[in-house]
């Protein structure tokens, strides 16, 4: 079974909690705060591995979490940060944020990697909160929660050569003849319902990967039939071999089939119209094929004028013309790869041992707040406030006073006053309830 799409949950490691501790040693009077910082949580990284060919592994494991950092230690020692967690994905994987629909990355080459979920920062120990006005703070931060979200992985077959054409024109048979692949073959439509890959060895030592892709029908660009499932894979092929049944089996018109297939490719993606294409006129072993080929060439000339087309007559049954087709495909592929190499010369993955380039995905975070009314209560909603409350023990006096200062600096107090809040009114923030009043200037830490 070919799995080319998977939805998974990713989460960076949580940061380790900071520690509340005080120095307690003989001959050391008035020992101050001695709690160390927590370690950072590990990042969750996707890295391309050219040895993988499918997303099959993600069918069985759908949750990936990085390790959390160690909590802070006594004597001011920091907890260790967690190692990054590497998740291997195959080349040609597109990553999309499931919530926003945003395309995060399109990773195609071995070694490319992206931090898909950043680990949380470690919390600060109480040593970090000591000030001249509060030399013994009973306050420490919890580690930040690592980023988490659902992502959709979609892999488009990474093949050098893609075989396209209507169902039952002989694509699977051709692949079985030129490679060691053993696709399911039958004399009925849609025998192939998922891509089959085969490595093709050309006589001069060259080789390439060929994909037998599911057959097309009219309306595929709109998702009809196998539709988009087929066309996604065509996008990834560098060269197209367009297989037509030149014998006209079942009353089909080879030229009409050629027009319809190309039209579906163009309607799905304009760029596919410019993709190098070789026409393989298959089933030349049939009596009527020679005459049909002449008619096809005349129709092609009348349709495209002087435009050059690469046409190779073949017979998958007798193997006539197969070698010529493979050499021609290898020649065209060499030209395409040379052009791609020139375009990508400025974005080469470093050699082993050099610093790897790591991209980071950062989701947009709201920095504003919203205040609403629920009967007599004021309700405050803010991502920044939620993050703060997760990091501190809100039963600590020092933490509450620091929290109050944060709300004032954000302008929450002013906005509540503008909306008519008076001393003694109730303000709900998450699961906590506070009484609103004009606080003092107490500042446990800047």
pLDDT at 3: 46
At the fourth CATH level, the homologous superfamily of domain 1-155 is: GTP1/OBG domain (2.70.210.12)
pLDDT in tens, 167-180: 878 888 888 888 75
- On average, the pLDDT of the chain sits at 81
Instruction: Specify the range with the lowest mean pLDDT, choosing from 91-105, 342-356, 380-394.
Output: 342-356
Name the CATH topology of 370-435: GMP Synthetase; Chain A, domain 3 (3.30.300)
Q: 33 and 22 in contact (C-beta within 8 Å)?
A: yes
Is the model's pLDDT at 122 over the cut of 80? yes
Instruction: Specify the range with the lowest mean pLDDT, choosing from 17-21, 41-45, 126-130, 428-432.
Output: 428-432
Evaluate whether the domain defined by 161-343 bears CATH number 3.40.50.620: no
What is the rounded CA–CA span in Å between residue 220 and residue 267?
9
Residue with the bigger pLDDT between 325 and 344: it is 325
pLDDT in tens, 347-390: 444 444 434 567 776 665 555 788 888 888 899 888 888 878 88
Strands of the sheet with 93-97, listed across from one edge: 63-65, 5-11, 148-155, 93-97, 103-107
Instruction: Specify the range with the lowest mean pLDDT, choosing from 66-70, 207-211, 366-370, 389-393.
Output: 366-370
Strands of the sheet with 432-435, listed across from one edge: 370-374, 377-381, 426-429, 432-435
Q: What is the mean pLDDT of residues 297-325?
A: 91
In sequence order, which residues have a C-beta less than 8 Å from that of residue 186 and are 6 or more positions away?
none
**How is the chain split into domains, by residue range?**
1-155, 161-343, 370-435
pLDDT in tens, 262-277: 888 888 788 888 889 9
Q: 232 and 213 in contact (C-beta within 8 Å)?
A: no
pLDDT at 171: 83
């Amino acid at each position: 079974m070919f799995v080319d799409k998977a939805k998974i949950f990713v989460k960076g490691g949580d940061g380790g909690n900071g520690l509340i501790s005080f120095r307690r040693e003989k001959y050391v009077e008035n020992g101050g705060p001695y709690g160390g910082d927590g370690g950072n949580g590990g990042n969750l990284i996707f890295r391309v591995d050219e040895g993988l060919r499918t997303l099959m592994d993600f069918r069985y494991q759908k949750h990936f979490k990085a390790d959390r950092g160690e909590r802070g230690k006594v004597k001011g020692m920091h907890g260790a940060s967690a190692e990054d967690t590497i998740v291997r994905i195959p080349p040609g994987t597109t990553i999309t944020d499931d919530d926003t629909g945003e395309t995060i990355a399109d990773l195609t080459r071995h070694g490319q990697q992206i931090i898909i979920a950043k680990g949380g920062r470690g919390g600060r120990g109480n040593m970090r909160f000591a000030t001249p006005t509060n030399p013994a703070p009973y306050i420490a931060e919890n580690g930040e929660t690592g980023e988490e979200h659902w992502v959709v992985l979609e892999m488009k077959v990474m093949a050098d050569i893609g075989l396209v054409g209507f169902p039952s024109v002989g694509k699977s048979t051709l692949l079985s003849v030129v490679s060691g692949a053993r696709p399911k073959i039958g004399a009925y439509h849609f025998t192939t319902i998922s891509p089959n890959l085969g490595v093709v060895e050309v006589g001069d030592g060259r080789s390439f990967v060929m994909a037998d892709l599911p057959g097309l029908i009219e309306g595929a660009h709109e998702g009809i039939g196998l539709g988009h499932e087929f066309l996604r894979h065509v996008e990834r092929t560098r060269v197209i071999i367009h297989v037509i049944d030149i014998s006209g089996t079942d009353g089909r018109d080879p030229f009409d089939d050629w027009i319809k297939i190309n039209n579906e490719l163009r309607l799905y993606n304009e760029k596919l119209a410019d993709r190098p294409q070789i026409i393989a006129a298959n089933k030349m072993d049939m009596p009527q094929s020679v005459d049909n080929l002449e008619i096809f060439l005349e129709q092609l000339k009348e349709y495209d004028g002087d435009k050059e087309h690469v046409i190779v007559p073949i017979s998958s049954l007798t193997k006539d013309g197969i070698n010529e087709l493979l050499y021609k495909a290898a020649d065209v592929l060499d030209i395409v790869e040379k052009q791609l190499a020139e375009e990508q010369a400025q974005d080469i993955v470093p050699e082993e041992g050099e610093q790897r380039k790591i991209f980071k995905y950062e989701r947009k975070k709201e920095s504003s707040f919203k205040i609403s009314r629920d009967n007599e209560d004021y309700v405050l909603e803010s991502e920044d406030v939620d993050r703060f409350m997760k990091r501190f023990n809100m039963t600590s006096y020092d933490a509450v006073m620091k929290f109050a200062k944060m709300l004032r600096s954000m302008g929450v107090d002013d906005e509540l006053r503008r909306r008519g809040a008076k001393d003694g009114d109730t303000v709900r923030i998450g699961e906590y309830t506070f009484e609103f009043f004009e606080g003092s200037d107490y500042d446990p830490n800047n």
